[in-house]
Structure formats: C-alpha cells, structure tokens
Chain A
Amino acid sequence: MNSAVASPRGTGTRNTRILGILTIASMAFLALLGLVFSAEDRDQGSSVRIMYVHVPSIWVAYIAFGMTAACSAIYLSSRNRSLIWDRFAGAAGEIGVLFVAVSLVTGSLWGRLSWGTYWVWDARLTSTAFLFITYLGYLAVRRLGGTHRQRARRSAVLALLAILEIPLVHFSVRLWRSLHQEATVATGGTDVHMDGLMLFSLFFGLISFTLLFLWLVIHRQRSLALEDAMENRGLDAAIEARREEAVS
C-alpha cells in the first residue's frame, strides 16, 4: 500500500521553512503597519486598526472554503482518487473555520466600537455565521470514522453540497434583509476614509494572511498524511496480530 510522503522528523521542508520565515516577517511588518505607521481614522479612531486583521481573515476563509470545494471536486472526479486531495480539502476546511471564527470575533468587536453593538442582522454577517456553522458540520462529518476512502468520499460530497447551499442561504438572507444598509470596508464603503497608507496596510494584510494560510495548509495536510500513515502502520501491526490469532 502507498505509504505517505512522510519525513520522520516533522512536516517541515526547506521550502516551507522559507515560506514560514516570509510569513513571520510579513506578519511583523503588518503589525507595525497596522499599529504604528498607519494613522487613526478620522471618525473611528484606533478601532479601524481591527480591519487589518478582520478583512484578511475573511479573505483567507473564502480562499480556504474555495480550496475545500475545489479539492473535493478533484478528488471525486480524478481517476485514481488520491487521498492527498481529501487531506488538502480537510486541512483547508479546518483553517477556513478558524479564520471565519476570527473574522466573526474581530468583526463584532469592531461593530461594538463603531456601531455600538456586537451584532446586526446584516445579510453579510448572517450568512457568514451560516458559513461557520456549515463548515463545523463538514468537520464533524470528517470525524465520523470508517476507512480513509469512506471519509474522503462522504466529506467530498458534503463539501460540494455546501458550495450549493451557501449561495442559496446568502441569497435568501439578502432578500430577507434587502432594506438593510451595507456596512463594510471591503466593498469600498464610504464610512471609512482611507488614505494611501491605510489602503496599503489592508492590501499588505491580505498578502501576509495568504502566506500564513499557505504555510498552515501545507503543514496541516502533511500532518494529516502522517496521521493516515500512522493508522495504516497500525493496520499492518493489527493484521499481523490478527493472523497470529489463527496459529494459536
């Protein structure tokens, strides 16, 4: 059986180490940009700095869920059904859930500071909450057990169903809240007056968080591969033990 691409020491390689160093450096620079160099907003004061984490987080979450869907589709349609696609889908799903959570928390903190409330029933907020719960369900299904192939097929189908569900939920929530104002920075809303450095910081945040995502997803995929390999090795031992039952 195929043994996974496992280096015995860990999940790092030279390339991921370079990627990791780049990520740390750009994160440090982003912190400087966001906390020191960029100015306070005229209306919002320092609370605008939350945006440099909030917007990149939801950006990463969208990339991650897109990747989960794409890898699931590749898994189901590929001839040899390589489990690497399943693991990439799962790794991206986990990271996506994490970053949706980060963006929900930072978003509600920002909302408290600028709107005076943690939550408004805005279409975007509401469907983001649904996104979070939907992928919690996806992760729960991944943990159901069974063989690796069962896990892969079941969760890949579910990931594709989620892609179908999300636009439906978003569309119906929009209809529901059709009179509600749009209040986000990402659409270039006018309630925040961004100067050049602020825009640059935001843009730089997207890049740093994307690097972080890549670093995380590669390592997580490899650690999942190691888990699978460990289970396979456990299976080898179990098969040996099972055969010995017959001798005695």
Chain B
Amino acid sequence: METVIELKGVVAVLGSFPALAGVSLSVQRGEILLLQGPNGAGKTSLLRVCAGLMPIERGTGSILGIDLATNRQDIRTRVGLLGHTNGLYLDLTVEQNIQFWASTVGASQEEVANAMSTMRVDGRLAKVKAGQLSAGQRRRTALASLIVRRAEIWLLDEPHAGLDAAGRDELDALLRNAVAAGATVVLASHESERAAGLATRTVTVDGGGAR
C-alpha cells in the first residue's frame, strides 16, 4: 500500500486560533476516508491543509510524498479541493466555468463534455450563468470542473450538501469510479449514513485533532 497523506502532529492556525491542534493522520491510496465530527471540529481546515492551501505552523506532513512545509505549490497541481465555496465565477455560464478550468490544465473538449454529462450540467443548464443556479446545481458544476482537473486526491467538504437524491447517487458513483481509477478520496460529511456506506474508513475529528 502506498501512503498518499501522512500528517504528524500538525498545527494550523486561522489568525491566532489553532484550527488544527496536532493532527496525525495517514491515508493509503485507494481509500475513501470519511471525516466525522461536530461543527468547528477542524474538518475543513484539515482538508485545506491536505490541499496545500493552509500553511502548517507546527508538525510535519507530506502529500503524495511531497513535503507540506516546503513544496505546497507542487502538491496543489495534484489534488482537488471542493470546499464550502464552489470556486465558480458567477458571471460566467456553467460551460464557460468548466471550460476555463479545463484550459488551465489543458483538458480536451471531450473531457469537458464527459464531465458535464457525468454531473448532468449539460444541455440547457450549460448556458445558464453560475450566479443564477440553485445551490445543488452549483455544486454539480463545481464537481464537473473538479473532474476535468484530474486530481489524484479528492478532498471534498460536505459534497452531498445541496444535492438531491439522484445527485447524491451520482456523486457516490463518481467517487467510486475515481477510486477505481487510482484516486484517493477524503470527505467531510454530516450525512453520516450515506457517507458511511461509501467510506472504507471513518475518522472522528474533534477539538482540532483526529481519532
């Protein structure tokens, strides 16, 4: 088994607040890891640290064998994060948003079309501005643009939120496919029953630590 995420005693701060107060976590390739815990437990910060977005203040960590302290930029090209925000441009249409993200990594038109049909944001929806979408539709668009970025580690913060029943099934299928293709998934979710069925392992995050 290959370890893709390795954190040891990681402290990360928001301003002066220690969002993570010494997290140790190890994730193997091909896992679907579920992060559980109450609000404010540090799940989001943990995902952001793994994405190389939040600097670590103390402790050590490596993602895909790359050191978190020194080479965060290299990590970022290989992981995909879907946070609370969707990272969409609200004045662009669904298709323009996905096209933009595709062009940053040089994804083909075929990949764009596939991603859009996988997340069912093709057809009529493709021409709608992201600012006019419902919460669930925005989530789908964000997931579609995540697909074209071909991440090796998927870091998902409440991915089920706002999705309808069909959308959740599609998301689960999408994640299983991604894992089958060699990706690793870490997700934080309050939908414990649904997510637990999907996950291969569950970790409880609380008080800025992981158990």
| Residues of A that sit less than 8 Å from B by CB | 1, 145-147, 149-150, 231, 234-235, 238-240, 242-247
Interface check B113, CB cutoff 8 A: no
Rounded to whole Å, the gap between the CB of B104 and the closest CB of chain A is 24
Interface of A is mostly: helix
State in angstroms the CA–CA spacing of A145 and B15 once bound together: 7
Q: Is the CB of A246 within 8 A of B207?
A: yes
Q: Is the CB of A243 within 8 A of B55?
A: no
Interface check B22, CB cutoff 8 A: yes
Q: Which residues of B contact A246 (CB under 8 A)?
A: 41, 206-209, 211
Q: Is the CB of A147 within 8 A of B55?
A: yes
A149, A231, A238, A239 interface centre (most CB from chain B within 10 Å): A239
Q: Which residues of B contact A150 (CB under 8 A)?
A: 55
Tell me how many residue pairs across A and B have CB atoms closer than 8 Å: 45
* Pairs across A and B, CB under 8 Å, 7 listed: A145-B15, A238-B16, A243-B22, A243-B208, A246-B209, A246-B211, A247-B207
Q: Contacts A150-B55, A239-B22, A243-B22 known; A234 to B208 CB distance under 8 Å?
A: no
Interface check B34, CB cutoff 8 A: no
Q: Is the CB of A235 within 8 A of B18?
A: yes
Residue on B nearest A149 in the bound complex, by CB = B55
Partner of A242, one of B18, B55, B57: B18
Q: Is the CB of B15 within 8 A of A146?
A: yes
Q: Which residues of B contact A247 (CB under 8 A)?
A: 207
Q: Is the CB of A239 within 8 A of B18?
A: yes
CB contacts under 8 Å to A, within B91-120, are none
Q: Which residues of A contact B179 (CB under 8 A)?
A: none
Q: Which residues of B contact A1 (CB under 8 A)?
A: 58
Q: Is the CB of B16 within 8 A of A235?
A: yes
